[in-house]
Structure formats: structure tokens, C-alpha cells
Amino acid sequence: MDSPPQCSTPTHDHERCDEETPLLKKSWRRERTPLPKLQIGIVLFMQVCEPICSMSIYPYINELVGSLDIIGGDETKVGYYAGLIESLFFATEALTVFQWSRTSDRVGRKPVLLMGLFGTMISILLFGLSRTFWTLVLSRCLCGLLNGNIGVMKSAMGELTDSTNRADAFAMMPVVWSFGATIGPLVGGSLAKPSGRLPGFDGQFWEDYPYFLPCIATAGSVLLTIFITLFYFQETTTAWRRPSRKRSESCDTLVNEASTEEAAGLSALLTKPIIIPIANYVSLAFLNISMNALLPLFMYMPIELGGLGLSPQTIGYVIGGYGAGTGLYQFFFFSALVRRFGTRRMFVMCVSTFIPAFLIFPFISLFAKTWGLGFPVWIGLSSVLLLMFMMDTAYGCIFMSITESAPNRQSLGAVNGLAQTTVSIARSIGPALASSLFSLSVQRSWAGGYGVYFVLAVFSVGALVLANQLPYEVVEKCEDY
């Protein structure tokens, strides 16, 4: 691996190291800025809503699809339709997320964030009330169309931080996501089909709508977040910011620095320093969402069809345990690892873990077919989850890289919107492709029924090659100062 290029001797006025990356300027000479904790906490609270709602359906989505007339009693078709439902949110999100992000550059982050939260709440309630395949489709599409939050939240996070404290703030985003990914599956698995299982839920309504209870619970968390955002979140953009005496001095400094900057046009964003990080975000998201779709499907399908035959409750506990484990990993190790290795090296190491993770699945299945759900199966499954801890670390790294690639602060919304649009397209393809490949592999005995894992391992090799194209960050270039 080539060593990072070194900067020339700094000038007496301490000008920035790289004129094309103004968001990183002065990182080598500034003391670490205190984080505006309340505002960042609210952004993180908003972020946790998406994994809680999206991940809560994973323990029971395959069972739900299996109960629909659309599969005709053929369990090998579950993967096709479950993957489609999981993909639709991202497909429709891709149609509007760039527009939501650009709109937030003009009218402010707060109104767009509130709209996204409201859309998430309504759609998850509709999902719980759906009794046909097409109403499930409608609810997921509505959620994607109204939810442009993830790109806007990253923009707000970028505006609330600078190069001296950005690693600390962005380290929290995977932790918070992991917390939501822990709570969501636990809620979904524990509250699904409450009739006859939980006291007080024996009426006909809960027989007819067995998955509405987890949807009510997750929608309640979104409603709470709406109120917190409405009353306590302060606007971060200069385009639509009201003066506030409560705003922190560090936050005012960041806003004042951005007040004279102009947003870059779309053509100015289509440059190599921006495209390369976004392309890596796309490959990471595609592989990660494919893994997230395969894992519950693998655990749900019968052992004879290449799965483990686990119940929704057990699947919820496993996925919830994964979320808790990866959250703790991010919390304790992310910042230290990034400071030790740099975001680029860390990202490359994380992406490399996809290859062994996908290749372990066939061995777990063979263990289950040979010895049942014994010790070797749980060791293999634990190994996959441990590798997934490392995979998730890549998100914090690539979020930082994308934020740092923005030409200026006024273009953060556009850059994150462009990134989220392309990522949403990849995420709309990933679950449908991975789940369909699973079903095809079983139906046609591709590679003994395990063809899906070998295909995704090949994709992982391509992602690793792309990861090595990331430029060395300016912080690494200026480390000698």
C-alpha cells in the first residue's frame, strides 16, 4: 500500500492543507471543539427511529409473507416476496431523497426532518394493518416517498461539528443505529402474534391483525421523537435559521463560517473526490442490506431448504443480540480505531470482512443438516455476527469521508442527498436480489443450494477493490504538523 503523500511546509498564516476540501481546513492546528451535545443528541434520537421501525419487521416478515395466498403454499417462494417488500422502501426513497435533501438546504433541516418522522410513523401503522401483499407494498412505498431523513440528518451532523470533533460525533451514528437495530427486532419478535401468547390480547382484532402490536410500539417511539424535535431542535442551516440566545458558541462559529459560502450545483458535485466515497458507500450499503435480508431468511427457512428453522421470537433475539453487540463495539472501539488507523485503512479492513462472512453460511447449513441445531451451528452463527460488528464500523468511516468531500457547508445537503439517492437504489436492489438468489439457489440446486453466498462473496471482492480507491484523508496528510 502506498504511503500517504505529505504536505509541504505550512505557511506562517496556517493556511489549509488542501484547497479542495474546506471542511477539513485547519484540522492540524485547532483544538478539539466541544460538541453541542443536546443538538447532536436530538439528531441521534431522530436517527434511531429508522432502524427501530425498519428492523422490527425482520423477525416476522418471512412468516407474514408465508401466510399470504400469493406464495400458494410454496415456502421456497418466500424469499422472492419478502425481499421485494424489504426493497420497496429504498426504491421509493431513491425517487425523493435527493429532492428532500436539496429542499433542506433551502428551507432548513427541521421541517424536512419532521416530515420524514411523520411519514415513518404513518407508514408503520399502515404496515401493521395490512392483510394483503399489495397493502404491504403500499405502506412500504409511502414510507420511502415521505422519508428523506437519513441524508438530512448527516447534513445536520456535519453542520454541528467540525474537523476536530467530527470523528467523535460520527462514531455515535453507528452506535445509535445499532441500538435501534437491537430494540427493533426485540420488539418485533416479542410482540408479534400476541393473541393467546400475551395477556390482554385475546380479542378478534389481534387474531386478524397479528403484527399490529409491534407496529404500534415502534410508531409510539417516532411520535415521541416528533415532539422532542418540534420543541427542542434548533435549525442548523443559515438559509432558514432563527436567532436563538440558547445556541452554543461553537455552533454559532460553524454557522458564521458557512454564511458566505454558496451551494455547489449538481455538476460541481460529480467529481472524483465526491464520486469515489459515494461509490464506496453504495457498495457497502448493497452488501450490508443483502446480509441483513439473508440472515433472517436463512434463520427462518427449514433446515432441509438450507436454513435453520427458527421461530420469529428466536430470530428477534438473535438479531437484537447482534444489534447490541455491534453497538457496544462501535461505542468502545470506533474512535480509537479511526485515530489509530485512519478512516481509509479502517474502511478497507471492514469491507474485507464481507468475504468470509458470506462463505460461512454454507458451513452453518451443513452443520445443521448433519447434527441439527447443535453447538457447531451456534458457533458458526456467532462468527458471522462478530464479522458483522466489523462491517458496521465501515459506516462511520464512509460517513466521515462523504462529509469531508463536500465543497462547502452549504453543499452538505446536496452531497448527502446525492449519496443517499444512489445508496437507496442499491438498497432497493440488495434485499430483492439476495432473497431471490437464495430461493433460486434452493430451487435449482446452484452450488448445492448455496450459490447465493458465492455470488455475494464475489461482489465483496469487487467492493474491496473499490475501497482501495479511496483517497487518503487530509488529516492523515497533515499528521506531521
Whether pLDDT at 378 is above 80? yes
**Which amino acid would we find at residue 76?**
T
Contact 162, 254 (CB under 8 A): yes
Q: Which CATH architecture has domain 34-238+249-477?
A: Up-down Bundle (1.20)
Give the pLDDT of residue 9: 39
Give the pLDDT of residue 17: 43
91-100, 105-114, 445-454, range with greatest mean pLDDT? 445-454
**Residue of 187, 167, 178, 154 whose CA lies nearest to 57:** 187
Give the pLDDT of residue 145: 80
Whether pLDDT at 19 is above 90? no
**Which amino acid would we find at residue 19?**
E
For 354-364, what is the mean pLDDT? 96
- How many other CB atoms sit within 10 Å of the CB of residue 268? 12
Q: Tell me the C-alpha distance between 58 and 262, whole Å.
A: 42
Contact 116, 97 (CB under 8 A): no
- Mean per-residue pLDDT of the chain: 80
In this prediction, residue 423 has a pLDDT band, given cuts at 50, 70 and 90, of confident
Q: Tell me the C-alpha distance between 10 and 433, whole Å.
A: 50
Contact 341, 4 (CB under 8 A): no
In this prediction, residue 311 has a pLDDT band, given cuts at 50, 70 and 90, of confident
- How many other CB atoms sit within 10 Å of the CB of residue 62? 27
Give the pLDDT of residue 20: 42
Whether pLDDT at 360 is above 60? yes
For 174-180, what is the mean pLDDT? 78
36-64 pLDDT tens trace: 889 999 999 898 888 888 778 888 888 88
Whether pLDDT at 315 is above 70? yes
For 118-125, what is the mean pLDDT? 90
Give the pLDDT of residue 257: 47
Phi, psi values for residue 381, rounded to 5°: -65, -40
Q: Tell me the C-alpha distance between 162 and 35, whole Å.
A: 9
**Residue of 397, 275, 290 whose CA lies nearest to 333:** 397
183-231 pLDDT tens trace: 888 888 889 889 888 888 888 889 888 989 999 999 999 999 999 999 9
Whether pLDDT at 418 is above 50? yes
240-256 pLDDT tens trace: 444 444 444 445 444 44
Give the pLDDT of residue 457: 96
Look at 111-125, 138-152, 446-460 and tell me which has the smallest mean pLDDT: 138-152
3-class secondary structure, 413: helix
In this prediction, residue 340 has a pLDDT band, given cuts at 50, 70 and 90, of confident
190 CB-side CA count, 13 A:
13
3-class secondary structure, 163: coil
Q: Which helix (H) or strand (E) holds 367?
A: helix 354-371
Whether pLDDT at 34 is above 90? no
Give the pLDDT of residue 10: 41
* 2's grid cell: 502506498
Length of the chain: 481
Whether pLDDT at 259 is above 60? no
Give the pLDDT of residue 396: 80
Whether pLDDT at 416 is above 60? yes
Predicted TM-score of the model (pTM):
0.67
In this prediction, residue 331 has a pLDDT band, given cuts at 50, 70 and 90, of confident
Torsional sign, CA 180, 183, 188, 189: positive
Q: Taking every pair of C-alpha atoms in the chain, what is the biggest distance, in angstroms?
A: 77
What are the structural domain ranges in the chain? 34-238+249-477
Give the pLDDT of residue 453: 95
Q: Is 162 left (phi over 0), alpha (psi -120 to 50) or beta?
A: beta
Contact 338, 171 (CB under 8 A): yes
Contact 214, 128 (CB under 8 A): yes
Query: Which residue's C-alpha cell is 441500538?
Result: 179
Look at 66-80, 131-145, 260-274 and tell me which has the smallest mean pLDDT: 260-274
12: Cα separation from own chain's centroid: 42
Give the pLDDT of residue 384: 94
